[in-house]
Amino acid sequence: MRERMEQTGVKMCLDIHGDEAIPYNFVAGCEGIPSYDARMADLEDRFKRALLTVTPEFQDEHGYDKDAPGKANLTVGSNWIGERFKCLSYTVEMPFKDHNDHPDPDFGWSPARSQAFGRDMLSAILGVVDGL
């Protein structure tokens, strides 16, 4: 995969995960990478604003601590990709059990909600594609 990325380049990366502990959907950016700059910050902000606009399933209050400038762990995929390709690169985390802001007492965080959240991601991508 890495060889192919080197051949073609990368304009954007969304590394989708499930978080066992945090009951929210959130993104973790690469603000701690050495080359993080105003363009990357703008892309991250635009992506988050677009996602906040299209779905109540996303929030930007709870998540992982942000890395200090220049202190990102570059063995984390989204950090390495952001640094190597100077692109928008997020780890997207979804809850395993339920979303605390919008709980579903019958089904919790379900495959159907994951699919809907994935569709909503497309709108957020459209919100930043012109800057990629």
Contact 76, 14 (CB under 8 A): no
pLDDT band (50, 70, 90) for residue 19:
confident
Can you name the CATH fold of 2-131? Aminopeptidase (3.40.630)
Q: What is the pLDDT of residues 44-95, one digit of tens each?
A: 999 999 999 999 999 999 999 999 999 999 999 999 999 999 999 999 999 9
What is the maximal distance between C-alpha atoms in the chain? 47
pTM: 0.91
User: Would you state the structure tokens that stand for residue 90, as one six-digit string?
Assistant: 């997020």
Domain ranges of the chain: 2-131
Residues with catalytic function: 93
